[in-house]
Chains A and B, each alone.
Chain A
Amino acid sequence: MSLMKGTNFDASTLTALQKVTLRAVVMSFLFYGLAAIEGTLMRVALVNPSIPPIHGAPEHFFSIMTVHPIIGIFGSTYQLVFAAFMFLIPYLTKKPLYSVGLANFVWLMITIGSALAWIAAFVWSYAPLYTLYWPLPADTAQFNVIGGIVFIIGIALIMIGTLGFIYNIYATIFAKVGVHANKTTKELLISGFGIDGMLNLVHKLTGKPPYSKEPALSLPVVAIFRGTIDTFLDALVILGAGILVLVYLLADASGVSWDVHAVDALLYKNFFWWGLDLVADGLVLIYVAGSWYLLATLITGQKLFMENVARAALLLELFVSWMVWSHHLLADQGQPEMMKLISGEMVTMFELLTQGLALFITLITLWKARPLKMTMELKYLLAGLLGFGLAVPAAIIQADMGMNRILHNTQWIIGAHVHVALLTGLYMTLYSVVYVLWPLLTNNTKLFSMKFANTHFYLHLIGSIGMGAFMGMAGLEGMLRRHFYMDGEYQTFMILAAIAAIMMVVAWMFFMINIIMSVGLKGLVGIFLPASDDTATFGIDPQPSVVVSQKK
């Protein structure tokens, strides 16, 4: 066991599918570390504004605030989720991945795109925030044109990588090979949308035999199928917004001054939030529900409780996620009241129902299999469930015309809801997936230290909930989320939130040291070297990807 060699990891034994997955995972956790350090810098700057590299300058503070979610959401979360799903879809459907080359393209595009967006903020202080509220991203009086163009190209590359992931997922699901050799596209579509689960429920209620005893796609695959629809729509919207900004920036660079008010700011907000909300309320909630179902069945080795209800709930979430964006516009007085009431309040309320249902089904599945051993994956899964148990009601409370009037854009929403949802809910779920996939992806490599793993767990859990709670408390006292306070306002909460943020950075260090000491630096480099084995399946007879098979 050494830093160079790790425990018993041997990168030369990995298949092409394992390697491409691990490459994206490595990049994901590097970006996570960057996002964690950026977040901590901002938290510390709210205690001591003169901390380098911010030096009390709002343009530096807001540059970091602009790239922090890009690095965290796209560079880290997208990479990790895409990597896991491009491994899990072949594993669960018992078919080869459509294309390993395309999977490599995906992580490269997202890595380069995230790096470009970061460079745009670091070098040119391009800082329109992730919301890109029109016409701010095209405001060349405040921002450098070159910085803006580099930023938008970065975002575009991330979205192109995302489209590559989407193609790979659907091409794998719809490939008529292996267990799906005799399935029709219609059968796969019905299963993918969760319609078979809903019909099974209707048949049960009307006393008929089940519509489908053995659905074509397993439940986690259905969740990935469904969530990926929102990922696609979201990518189109972000690409569309990016093209609009790019056109204006290029016009400015060529000496032409176009009227930015030709685009209505409120209409643009509706368009952008419709797409952006598909990330938060569509793919995150659906992917997470699917991950919980998968983890619960893998950890217990038993069938999921109320599987048909779970399938039908995923179909319900399809419609819910498309109609909730107005809860971001409750403070916009030009937004029609009826849209605020129906989309912003009533449809949004259904997320309490769909997420509550997923929580219930997962908990009961675990409960029915007790006693269980408290493994790392179970520990992280429970923490993930807790995260969403805290964060979803925090959002539902604010998605109300009365509460929003005094909470909108405060630290409450970004702390108690967003950061608890992402850092406690989503990341704890993803860490659970990492621990489940670890032996499969690394050919049973021994973990360097369980003490390090547990230290990471507790530091991250306490740090993430603590930071969210203290930010939320500051929000209740009026602290805004997109403001650089430099006169010592809300100090007690900010000191506590900064300590919690530092705990999460330390947690990440424990996690990374544990992983590096397990695979070794040599193994880490080996992951990025070409694979000698072109296998794109797992758990069945080795087969190359569909693309390679077709070529042969």
Chain B
Amino acid sequence: MTFETSVELLKFHNVAYTVYAMLIISVIAWFAYNLTREKKAEPIVRIPFYLYIGFLVAMGVGHHIFTYNTIPWVSEDIMRHNITPDKTFQIKIANHKFDMPEKMEIKKGEKVLFDAHSSDLVYGFGLFRQDGSMISQMQVNPGSRNDLLWTFNECGEFDVRSTEYAGPAGNAMFVKKVVIVTGCDKKGV
């Protein structure tokens, strides 16, 4: 099981968390109802204390193991210093403006490095689809390395927006259709 894009991952996350939310609301509602009943209810399942603790630890650790093995950009991000990108784009930010190539053209499957530099404030660098959903993002700190290595597994025209607040003027930091990814077949694969 691998999530090729953020859309697939977020759909999975949405379903999983909704199921969990419904479950915890139901458990507390069931608990509240039975707490006040004269007739003592027996729990549906008896959960030993140490099993419960083990479950919490397994969920906490297992969550990271699961994402490491199913989300391709995790290992790529950790190992990015040892990966030679297919393309590198320099992004300069100052006075609430992006200074970057007018069109960043990429072939599907290429490893692309976005190398961002801020000369004044803390900004963000985020890639968005035309429907507003997020592909990826990073913070852009002045005086620090801000390098996002990304493999595009989808085609389309994508926007760039600052994902960090840098004062009211930063609200307009939005560049339409600046990243163009091609190379998909007619079905978009």
Stretch at the interface among A14-22, A26-34, A396-404, A451-459: A396-404
B141, B168, B171: the one contacting A332 at CB < 8 Å is B141
**Contact yes or no, B134 A482, CB < 8 A:** no
Q: How far is the CB of A45 from chain B (nearest CB, A)?
A: 12
| Nearest B residue to A476, CB-CB | B10
Whether A521 is near chain B, meaning CB under 8 Å from some CB there, is: no
* Interface segment, one of A104-112, A159-167, A381-389: A381-389
B35 interface neighbour in A59, A356, A371, A476, Cβ under 8 Å? A371
A115 CB to closest chain B CB (Å) equals 23
Contact assessment for A409 and B145 in the assembled complex, using a CB-CB cutoff below 8 Å: no
By a CB distance below 8 angstroms, the chain A residues around B131 are 477-478
The answer on a CB contact under 8 Å between A142 and B169 is yes
Interface flag for B45 (CB, 8 Å): no
Residues 385-416 of A, flagged 1 when their CB comes within 8 A of B and 0 if not, give 11001100110110011110110111000001
If the complex has contacts A261-B142, A353-B53, are A136 and B122 also in contact, measured as CB distance less than 8 A?
yes
> Which of A129, A352, A405, A473: most chain B CB closer than 10 A?
A405
Q: Is the CB of A265 within 8 A of B136?
A: no
Interface residues of A in 439-491 (CB under 8 A from B): 469, 473, 476-480, 482-484, 489-490
Residues A400 and B64 in contact in the complex (CB < 8 Å), given A133-B122, A265-B142, A406-B134? yes
Name A385's closest neighbour in chain B (CB-CB).
B28
B142 and A403 form a contact (CB under 8 A): no
Q: Which of B36, B63, B64 contacts A374 (CB 8 A)?
A: B36
* B165: interface (CB < 8 Å): yes
| Residue interface mask B11-26, A partner, CB < 8 A = 1 | 0011001001100110
- For chain B, the bracket of interface size reads 35 or more
Tell which of B66-74, B84-92, B103-111, B175-183 binds the partner: B66-74
List of A residues within 8 angstroms of B121 by Cβ: 133, 135-136, 139
- Binary CB contact string for chain A from 130 to 150 against chain B (1 if under 8 A, 0 otherwise): 010111100100110000000
Q: Are B171 and A143 in contact, with the CB atoms below 8 A?
A: no
Residues of chain A contacted by B35 (CB below 8 angstroms): 366-367, 370-372, 374, 378, 382
Binds B, one of A78-86, A343-351, A507-515, A537-545: A343-351
Report whether A265 and B38 are in contact in the complex, using a CB–CB cutoff of 8 Å.
Answer: no
Which A162-217 residues sit within 8 Å CB-CB of chain B?
none
Q: Would you call A530 an interface residue if the criterion is a C-beta within 8 Å of the partner chain's C-beta atoms?
A: no
CB atoms of B128 and A478 under 8 A apart: yes
Chain B neighbourhood of A469, CB < 8 A: 21
Q: Does A373 contact B (CB under 8 A)?
A: yes
Q: Is residue B6 contacting chain A, with contact meaning CB distance below 8 A?
A: yes
Query: Of the candidates A139, A349, A353, A367, which one forms a contact with B31 in the assembled complex, judged by CB atoms under 8 Å apart?
Result: A367
Does A266 touch B at the CB level, under 8 Å? Answer: yes
B167–A401 contact, CB under 8 A?
no
In angstroms, how far is the closest chain A Cβ from the Cβ of B140? 9
Query: Are A477 and B133 in contact, CB atoms less than 8 angstroms apart?
Result: yes
Closest CB in chain B relative to A235 CB, distance in Å: 24
In the assembled complex, how far is the CB of residue B37 from the closest CB belonging to chain A, in whole angstroms? 6
Asked whether B101 is an interface residue with its Cβ less than 8 Å from the other chain, the reply is no
A409 and B31 contacting across the interface, CB-CB below 8 Å: no
Query: Which of B20, B36, B49 has a CB less than 8 Å from the CB of A360?
Result: B49
Question: A437 near B: Cβ within 8 Å?
Answer: no
Interface residue range, chain A:
35 or more
Q: Could you tell me the distance in whole angstroms from the C-beta of A408 to the nearest C-beta in chain B?
A: 6
Question: Which residues of the partner chain A approach B134 to less than 8 Å between Cβ atoms?
Answer: 406, 410, 478
Q: Is B153 an interface residue (CB 8 A)?
A: no
Q: Is the CB of A352 within 8 A of B167?
A: no
Would you list which residues of chain A between 327 and 370 have a CB under 8 Å from chain B? Answer: 329, 331-334, 337, 345-346, 349-350, 352-353, 356-357, 360, 363, 366-367, 370
Q: Within the complex, what minimum Cβ distance (angstroms) separates B43 from chain A?
A: 8
What's the nearest-Cβ distance from chain B to residue A213, in Å? 22
Task: Encode contact with A along B132-162: 1 for CB under 8 Å, 0 otherwise.
Answer: 1111111101111111100000000000010
User: What 0/1 pattern do residues 108 to 138 of B give for CB contact below 8 A with A?
Assistant: 0000000000001110101011011111111
Q: Find A261's partner among B28, B56, B61, B143 (CB 8 Å cutoff).
A: B143
- List residues of chain B with CB within 8 A of the CB of A363: 31
Q: Which 9 A-B pairs have the closest CB atoms?
A: A334-B144, A349-B60, A402-B71, A402-B67, A482-B165, A58-B168, A478-B133, A478-B134, A59-B168
Residues of A whose CB lies within 8 Å of any CB of B are 57-59, 61-62, 127-129, 131, 133-136, 139, 142-143, 261, 264-266, 269, 306, 329, 331-334, 337, 345-346, 349-350, 352-353, 356-357, 360, 363, 366-367, 370-374, 378-379, 382, 385-386, 389-390, 393-394, 396-397, 400-403, 405-406, 408-410, 416, 469, 473, 476-480, 482-484, 489-490
Please, could you name 30 A-B residue pairs with CB atoms under 8 Å apart, sorted by A? A59-B168, A62-B165, A127-B167, A133-B122, A133-B165, A142-B169, A329-B139, A331-B139, A332-B144, A353-B53, A356-B52, A356-B56, A357-B56, A360-B49, A360-B52, A366-B31, A367-B31, A370-B35, A374-B35, A382-B28, A385-B28, A390-B21, A396-B60, A400-B63, A402-B67, A403-B13, A405-B77, A406-B137, A410-B134, A476-B14
Given A331-B138, A379-B32, A389-B24, 5 new contacts (CB under 8 A): A136-B121, A382-B32, A393-B20, A400-B63, A402-B71
Q: Please list the residues of chain B having a beta carbon within 8 angstroms of any beta carbon in chain A.
A: 6, 9-10, 13-14, 17, 20-21, 24-25, 28, 31-32, 34-38, 40, 49, 52-53, 56-57, 59-61, 63-64, 67-68, 70-71, 73-74, 77-78, 120-122, 124, 126, 128-129, 131-139, 141-148, 161, 163-169, 171
